[in-house]
Structure 1
Amino acid sequence: MCQLFLTLLGDTLPAAVGGSDVPGGARGPYGAVVTATSSPDARRLACVDIGSTWTKAALVDAGSGELLATRQAPTSSDVVPGVLAATEGWDAEVRACSSAGGGLRLAVVGYEQLISAEAGHRAALSAGARVVHVAAGRLDGDGLAALAAAAPDVVLLVGGTDGGDATVLRHNAGALASAAGRVPVVLAGNVQVREEVAAVLAAGGCPVTACDNVLPDIGELAPESARAGIRAVFLEHVIGGERLSADPRLQRWVRAVTPDAVLDGVVALAALRSGADVPGVLVLDVGGATTDVYCVPDLDPEQAALRREAVGVPAHRRTVEGDLGVHHSVGDLLAAARAEGLPPTGEDALALGEAAATVALRRHLRAEAAYGAGGASARGVGLVVLSGGVFRHADAGALDAVVSRLAADRGGAAGVLAGTRVVVDRRYVLAAAGLLAGTHPVATAELLQSLLT
């Protein structure tokens, strides 16, 4: 049976939702003492995750990595009041990530389905986007209509290896440039025609961000440049627009879409465990609208050297299940659970979370199997992290039972959870760690230790 380790650090909530963060220590709902200093400290950072329902904040000492306090507040249609409520009185710089308003909606347009479009899809998932549409081949009138109906915030335009055939990439750039409604485009195809294609898009009025090719050669996936481009477009056009708030402070605060920040946190956690027998990490993050699975597997040298024939294997993987949520998409979740042959769950929140985690992990492992020998296996994951409110607020006994059932799931989860250490991210430190990782690596490592002790 898989042993469950809980990070019993408690949680400090604002008075509006049942708690306080008074100096000298406050008791969270699970009995742990949380301390919060009252004197200003320039090193303190407020790391904020703006969700569709709740805005979660963690006050961190950027020098030591000490988690000083946590708080959450409801997210409203204008997200700024939630940030202000969650960080009130902290006198700290705010760094935020956001998945409010559905997060980042992205469409992929590629050369053909099995190679370039698939490469673009994988790059988009690593960037924290929710992929709402994938098109392959030459865009025609019907294809443009389908793309518009998906209502993406950004289009990832890919196609061709470097120096390969560029005819479809050129055609699709022209189609996007002439279409009604200019959606920002991240261009990550054949670099030999990058300037030419970017000029076509710009001449048509499409905001364009030119990046390196996501598939520079057959079997070589290179998503990082496109990931950075997608993040830049998200900050400029989604956060910089007025969909979430017209308050200019939001643009200063937000650094990434939440799944992008969480993935950075997961990568940092895997690096922290590099000396473990099996350092790979898998995260199951169950939310109200989606369930995300993050995986940084540890591959043995033989596996790491293998490449899929057409599309390479990303080192850091993420899948998002837009129909698996315990609130906004609960009807779709129940249907998906029935389709997987799971027993009825009723309306209990933890049971719904278990169903979402089970189905999402099964789907993720099926996607991993498509990577062939380079995909993750049970040997490549030594730590599983459960995240999301349904797990965060559950008691230890109920969670033990959930983990036991997951570890016995012969539909796929047993191959990862059986005999594997499981922890719960009770204070959402993965997102906070991701926001710190680029500038405060020591503090990031210390913050992540709270998951492991």
Structure 2
Amino acid sequence: MDANLIVFDIGSTWTKAVAFRLDGRKLTYLARGQATTTVKDVALGAAQAEWDIQNQGVGLEEGYKRYSSCSAAGGLRMVAMGYMPKVTAKAAKEVAMTAGARVMEVISVDEPPEFREEVLHEIRPDIILLAGGTDNGDETSALENAAIICRAKVTATVIVACNQVAQRRVVRLLKEAGIPSIRIPNIIPTIHELNTVPAREAIHSQFIKQITQAQGVQEFCKTLSNQEVIPTPGAVFFASELLAKGIYGKEGIGSLMLIDIGGATTDIHSAIPELLELKIEERGLLINNEKQYSYRTVEGNLGMRISAGGVLDTVGAENLLTYAGPGVGESDIIDYIEMVEEQPDHIPQSEKEKAMDHAIATCAINLSIRRHAGFYAKENDAVMGVMAGTAMGRDLRHIKNIVCSGGVLVNAADEEKRAIITHAFENPGNALLPIQAPRLIYDEHYLLFALGVLSKWYPEAVLDFMLEEWKNIEHEEINQ
């Protein structure tokens, strides 16, 4: 069968390609290829990954379509400026993680003006998210921060996402200073909600502009059907949201948690469609609740290779040895982590190395899901009106599905993957993690990024494919 769709993912180390056949609404997976990323001209690595697919006996139909995601650029450097530090940080992280940006600093009006200006000089951001004030709320913070941006003479694009009344004056100030801006609806319209989609789209547009200017990428983009790339985290995010919620006329699988573990980070994304039914006032305050439908966290110091040392530093060698099994000593695990940090493309060469890899994965996932989840309040808090034992933050106790993707969760044997996830969930501590055994879904062919890219153009076909691909997983449940 010939492919008529190819989806690439340009990473810092590897370029991947996935081949599909689309006939009407029927999407069929054919093969997956991989090659080393060629930094000076990414098209060469993409061609090699495509050739890898053809070597597996898959032909390419004349006029086939090409799409791509990309994570090689590392993301736009973003500074968020706003009124309240915790709320601004929450808003910034929500939009940045899936749109191709990295939050370098969060600044509030609590900081002295001189400090805010100095931060802009030191970081030299590509983009500034200017929040501040709910609609019908504070206007002065946005105007004050706009003036600081003008004094700093930044070259960044400013996304104006503050109080609606203040926006016109903010844009005028920036224009007079020669600073480009994009005006969007308030990212925090009320104290109960985040309006992240417009900001995400604005950052994405800037990501595309940056990535197409990067060395070797511009010509590659010209070969794509849509002539642009999507940030890889955003692509995975789109796929998991579609799988959870579905589309008009066809339901998804319901609430899910996505675990995506890589060499540098461990990403956790949860989507809970039931929360869409809540009224705004039922969602609680942004500052202490995580009741939005979709929520993502990235643990930048917990990974399998470059950030393996972060796992060791956080949990200690003793906890890692608990999951590594007999025959592995403390010096073994420390030496192995030092080695994989220096050689991030290392593949385990023995059962002993594999056991240490699985121990790192187990601890990284356990830490990441506990940080993503909410918790039970330990003490009474009269100011916040909270009693001991009250569930606070992101409530994942009734999650129905866990989707596993990335690295070891793709390549390990079935029983090994199951053991990693089971051990990662067996010690929830104070976290609001599933109380009933959710079913497990393994992205065995590493397709989520590709499905997320395709969902922008073929949502019905992609949803049908995911529901069909993972329909026989009812028996795969965590033993709790």
C-alpha displacement of 1:280: 0.2
Q: Decide which moves more: 382-391 or 143-152.
A: 143-152
Q: What is the alpha-carbon distance in structure 2 between the residues aligned to residue 380 and residue 357 of structure 1?
A: 19
Deviation at 1:443, TM superposition (A): 1.6
Matches within 5 A, 1:235-314: 235-236=208-209, 238-242=210-214, 245-250=216-221, 252=224, 253-272=227-246, 279-299=254-274, 306-311=282-287, 313-314=291-292
Distance in 2 between the 1:337 and 1:141 partners?
39
Letter in 2 for 1:136: S
Residues 1:401 and 1:304: Cα distance change in structure 2 (over 3 Å): farther
Q: Which residue of 2 aligns with 1:17?
A: none
Corresponding residue SS for 1:448: helix
Deviation at 1:99, TM superposition (A): 1.3
- Determine the structure 2 residue equivalent to 1:13: none
Q: Partner of 2:139 in structure 1?
A: 166
Partner of 1:328: 306
Please say if residues 192 and 280 of structure 2, whose CA atoms lie closer than 8 Å, have aligned partners that are also in contact: no
Q: How does 1:35-54 map to 2 (within 5 A)?
A: 37-38=1-2, 44-54=4-14
Deviation at 1:128, TM superposition (A): 5.3
Q: Partner of 2:316 in structure 1? A: 338
Provide, for residues 229-285 of structure 1, a one-character-per-residue CA deviation record: whole Å limited to 9, x for no partner: 11111111x21322x535432365443211111111011110249858x71011010
- Alignment of 1:451 with 2:425, yes or no, is no
- Find the partner of 1:56 among 16, 19, 22: 16
- Between the two proteins, what is the percent identity of the paired residues? 30
Confirm or deny: 8 A CA contact 1:281 1:382 kept in the other structure. yes
Separation in 1 of the partners of 2:371 and 2:464? 33
Aligned residues: 410
Give the TM-score normalised by the residue count of structure 2.
0.76
Cα deviation, residue 287, structure 1: 1.1
User: What residue in structure 1 maps to residue 328 of structure 2?
Assistant: none
Structure 1: how far apart are the matches of 2:192 and 2:432?
A: 30
Q: Aligned to 1:67, which of 29, 33, 52?
A: 29
Amino acid aligned to 1:69:
A
Candidates 85, 88, 99, aligned match of 1:113: 85
Q: SS of the counterpart of 2:463?
A: helix
The one-letter code sitting in structure 2 at the alignment partner of 1:84 is A
- Residue 119 of structure 2: aligned partner: 146
Shift in alpha-carbon separation, 1:326–1:111, aligned structure 2, 3 A: same
Give the whole-Å Cα distance in 2 for the aligned partners of 1:357 and 1:75: 27
Change (3 A) 1:308 1:404: same
Is 1:360 aligned to residue 335 of structure 2?
Answer: no
> Which residue does the alignment assign to 1:130?
102
Query: Hey, what does 1:384 align to over in structure 2?
Result: 402
Contact map agreement 2:146 2:174 (CA 8 A) in 1: yes
Q: Which residue of 2 aligns with 1:191?
A: 164
1:14 maps to which residue?
Answer: none
- Deviations along 1:140-159, one digit per CA (max 9) or x if unpaired, are 33323334444543221111
Q: Say if 1:67 and 1:304 are closer, same or farther in 2 by CA, change over 3 A.
A: farther
Task: Tell me whether 380-389 or 292-301 shows the greater mean CA deviation.
Answer: 292-301
Distance 1:428 1:452, change over 3 A: farther
CA distance 1:430–1:396, change in 2 (3 Å): same
Aligned amino acid, residue 411 of structure 2: H
Aligned mate of 1:315, from 286, 293, 298: 293
Normalised by the size of structure 1, how large is the TM-score? 0.81
Unaligned 5+ runs, structure 1: 1-36
1:156-183 Cα deviation digits (max 9, x unpaired)? 1111112322222112112223325412
> How far apart, CA to CA, are the structure 2 residues paired with 1:430 and 1:246?
22
Q: Using a 3 Å threshold, how does the CA distance of structure 1 residues 342 and 131 change in structure 2: closer, same or farther?
A: farther
| Distance of aligned partners of 1:380 and 1:340 in 2 relative to their CA distance in 1, 3 Å threshold | farther
Distance apart, 1:377 and its partner CA: 2.9
Instruction: Say whether the 8 Å CA contact 1:211–1:226 is kept in structure 2.
Output: yes
Moved more, 113-122 or 388-397: 113-122
Q: Which stretch has the larger CA shift, 305-314 or 98-107?
A: 305-314
Q: 1:233 aligns with which of 206, 209, 212?
A: 206
Give the letter aligned to residue 451 of structure 1: W
CA displacement at 1:400 relative to structure 2: 2.2
SS in 1 for 2:66: strand
Residues 151-160 or 410-419, more deviating: 410-419
Looking at structure 1, the residues matched to 305 and 33 of structure 2 have their Cα atoms a distance apart, in angstroms, of 21
Distance 2:393 2:228 in 1: 33
Tell me: CA distance 1:326–1:133, structure 2 relative to 1, closer, same or farther (3 Å): same
Q: 1:211 to 1:329 in 2, by over 3 A?
A: same
- Which stretch has the larger CA shift, 219-228 or 338-347? 338-347
Q: Which structure would you say has the larger Rg?
A: 2
Give the Å deviation of 1:215.
0.8
CA distance in 1, matches of 2:376, 2:145: 30
Deviation at 1:320? 0.9
Distance 1:417 1:87, change over 3 A: farther
Deviation at 1:316, TM superposition (A): 0.8
Structure 1 residues 229 and 255, CA, compared in 2 at 3 Å: closer, same or farther? same
1:100-131: CA deviation from partner (whole Å, max 9, x where unpaired): 13234432111121334433333334545332
